[in-house]
């Protein structure tokens, strides 16, 4: 795969151009996927407020599903991630699991 610089992309790091050439979308990476899943878990644990309502929502079933998805990702990508990606996934998975346990005890 050629890099963004090699293919003439002028977008800053972490962004890719849309159909009109505007640099808007985040680059698709395993780190971005991990962060997206993690953010979803934190939202469903009530740790992130809904930007529209300003309220915190708790749905432990959906939070657990997100954690299970991260765990599956860790299992299925074992040996295929670089060291930083592997550590990121391990750390985030541990963190959201601990937060889930804390939320269940409330």
Summarize pLDDT for 35-80 with one digit per residue, the tens.
999 999 999 999 999 988 999 999 999 999 999 999 999 999 999 9
Q: H or E segment at 25?
A: strand 23-26
Query: What number is the average pLDDT over the span 84-103?
Result: 98
Beta bridge partners of 23: 17
Query: What number is the average pLDDT over the span 70-95?
Result: 98
Would you state the pLDDT for residue 5? 42
Domain limits, the chain: 30-105
pLDDT in tens, 6-46: 445 678 766 777 778 788 777 789 999 999 999 999 999 99
Q: H or E segment at 15?
A: strand 15-17
Output the furthest CA–CA distance in the chain (Å, rounded): 52
Would you state the pLDDT for residue 89? 98
């Amino acid at each position: 795969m050629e890099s963004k610089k090699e293919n003439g992309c002028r977008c800053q790091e972490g962004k890719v151009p849309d159909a009109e050439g505007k640099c808007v979308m985040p680059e698709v990476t395993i780190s971005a996927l991990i962060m997206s899943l993690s953010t979803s878990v934190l939202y469903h644990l009530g740790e992130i407020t809904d930007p529209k309502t300003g309220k915190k929502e708790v749905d432990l079933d959906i939070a657990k599903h997100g954690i299970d998805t991260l765990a599956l990702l860790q299992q299925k990508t074992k040996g295929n991630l670089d060291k930083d990606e592997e550590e990121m996934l391990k750390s985030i998975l541990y963190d959201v699991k601990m937060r889930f346990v804390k939320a269940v005890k409330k």
